[in-house]
Amino acid sequence: MSGINIGILAVQGDVAENVLATKMAIEELGMEGIVTEVKTPEQISDLDGLVIPGGESTVIGTLSLVNGSLKKIKEKIASGMPVFGICAGMIVLSKKAKDRVVGEMDQPLLDFLDVKIERNTFGRQKDSFESEISMDKIGLFKFPGVFIRAPSIVEAGKDVEILSKFNEKIIAVKQGNIIGTAFHPELTGDISLHKYFVSLIKKKN
């Protein structure tokens, strides 16, 4: 294959929106590549990059564990594959997650992104909000933040770069080739963050 192969983990959640945003990002960057929905370890093993979309982190984690996808994603991350985790996807990437109300959770996680996450940190759906945020470190000075029952990062390890904060809460991070956001760029029509992620894949190859 000549171009890059980016997968969208298609277990549960807003997969189609990420397929579209990633395709547009590849096109605008003038790169060669394909975007596919992936569910199985075999499909994941072929990838150069992966997006874990928004959804319910307990569902995405549990079902990826059942068919061996979680193990395969771990191997691929260890070998350097860039991954973009959005909301639930960021939770699945993390080492530790607790819920604001329910407390400590025993849910399957990839145990890679060195952060501790508080789920539903802003409250329930009625508290979901839109707000303009910024990620100056990667050149995105204005970005439409769409926060849906969003998590935040309460502790970040020394290798974790903080890309954005909403007041005192950490809402976007980068650790090596891994990006995690608490908000949903795929719902906004602004593909600049997807473009940034895709460009990481280019650099690796």
Which residues participate in catalysis according to the annotation?
87, 184, 186
User: What's the sign of the alpha-carbon dihedral 91, 96, 100, 106?
Assistant: positive
Residues shown for the chain: 205
Q: How far apart are CA 95 and CA 97, in angstroms?
A: 7
Q: Is 54 in the site for another protein (CB under 8 A)?
A: yes
Backbone angles phi, psi at 102, to 5 degrees: -80, -30
x/- letters, 70..99, toward another protein (CB under 8 A): -----------------xx----------x
- Binder among 5, 36, 39, 177 for another protein (CB under 8 A): 39
- Binder among 66, 142, 157, 161 for another protein (CB under 8 A): 66
Q: Is 16 in the site for another protein (CB under 8 A)?
A: yes
DSSP state of 41: H
Q: How far apart are CA 62 and CA 58, in angstroms?
A: 6
x/- letters, 119..158, toward another protein (CB under 8 A): xx--xxxxxxxxxxx------------x-xx---------
Residues contacting residue 189 through CB under 8 Å, at least 6 positions apart? none
Q: How far apart are CA 94 and CA 113, in angstroms?
A: 4
Q: How far is the CB of 45 from another protein (least distance, A)?
A: 18
- Max intra-chain CA distance, the chain: 48
- Binder among 29, 31, 156, 187 for another protein (CB under 8 A): 187
Q: Is 10 in the site for another protein (CB under 8 A)?
A: yes
Q: Is 204 in the site for another protein (CB under 8 A)?
A: no
- Binder among 29, 105, 156, 162 for another protein (CB under 8 A): 105
- Binder among 4, 8, 12, 180 for another protein (CB under 8 A): 12
- Whole-Å CA distances, 123 to 21, 22, 126: 27, 29, 8
Q: How many CA atoms lie within 13 A of 7 on its CB side?
A: 23
- Site residues, another protein (CB under 8 A): 10-17, 20, 39, 54-56, 58-59, 62-63, 66-67, 87-88, 99, 101-102, 105, 119-120, 123-133, 146, 148-149, 166-168, 184, 187-188
